[in-house]
Structure 1
């Protein structure tokens, strides 16, 4: 046996040694709790919501038949879709500027402005929006001062306020992958398109956008998945009455103490998020195949 063939198994064993800690971390701190939650979701409960021994699918029936839960799931999908579209529309121009800006002070400041929300506590950012959107906050003062309203609007507690605040929280997750994808585009391709007679708009839609599709797909999938389960920002901005699945799960755990119901709703939300992201991913793959013939 040659020395190279003898060293191959040793190399694989060394590689396995590097992977095992992360694998153990994943199994014991993610997989095991999720399996226990799945088992709990099938436990029957008494009149006080306490889990009892046995097996039942009653919690899952309630998720799909009671409007309190089913409407929250549908509203979560709606909010996540709107937030994803807003993050893509707002994030693409910012990513384009960052990708084409030469390294320097201005680009550094722009990059810091983009990632600064990630460096601040989500609670602090959310309370900032609470101040801006309150009855005597800056937004209402501007509306009244411009004569657009005769009295302050009740912005806090509305779905619009939730969408705006969640978009602000998740916008960096769209800008970062978009910036990476746009920076990887060869600049000569755009110049070649312009030299062949295509205008700036056509070059953008026929060259830049298709080549940045990986960044678009990554940003959309990340933002949508995060928006589906977010609950801290909507709860602080819109209150606990917001019909979102994350808030319903929080209520079942902290107020009702019905852990099997919370576990069942959590897994339905997880599956729904997985199905939606799979559909988006399939759509992006079809788009890519169509572009490449």
Structure 2
């Protein structure tokens, strides 16, 4: 009643909206004032206006009511279906999917559908609720938060490490990489390591999906210039080795992106927080 009376500056108008008597509104306001130990309204002409204390209280009351309404709407809305997550195929295969069971275990009430795709998520069409994008973090009309950064460096199968004592030894093996993006290329890595002159003598193989390149390297068929996020688990498992310490810092980073007016903000927040926690643990 307090918020309605404040909005109308009138007990009688509040009573009409709430379908109660003016006396009932007046009594409820008096009870609230007695409980708080201060006046919330004073009469001015034919209306009732807020006191200083009433003006300070009103925003908190309105926020509480809005939160309550939001919670109730969650209970009464029909099933919104799975939460749609768009992610690059390589990141999905090498980073997300091996961890996703932990999200399902900790959030059994959220059904998640993963869309591995190289294409930008279509938020306008309502096809995606949350996306992990690799870029600069600025997306018109969308909210974004940094998820994690990465670096790029060569990796190979353990069986090939003995053949890579010097950077020049790369000449003897196929160099695998994805299309140059965000400054990640063998040319840039070799320049950073001070050996750009050997590039013309190297055999290069470019694949559209970084995950496919890693499969080739896991089979011992070359050396990949890969991102740290994609190979961290493989390095820990000793399925891959890192023969050289030099690493590139890409121009882009991984961002979580969603519509600020989405109807699934609570579920998005739960998934966002879990993803950020997983990314943080991966850096420890």
Alignment TM class, shorter chain as reference: under 0.3
TM-score (norm 2): 0.24
Of structures 1 and 2, the one scoring higher in RCO (CA 8 A, sep 6+) is 1
Q: Which has the higher helix share?
A: 1
Q: Which has the higher strand share?
A: 2
- Find the structure with the greater CA-based Rg: 2
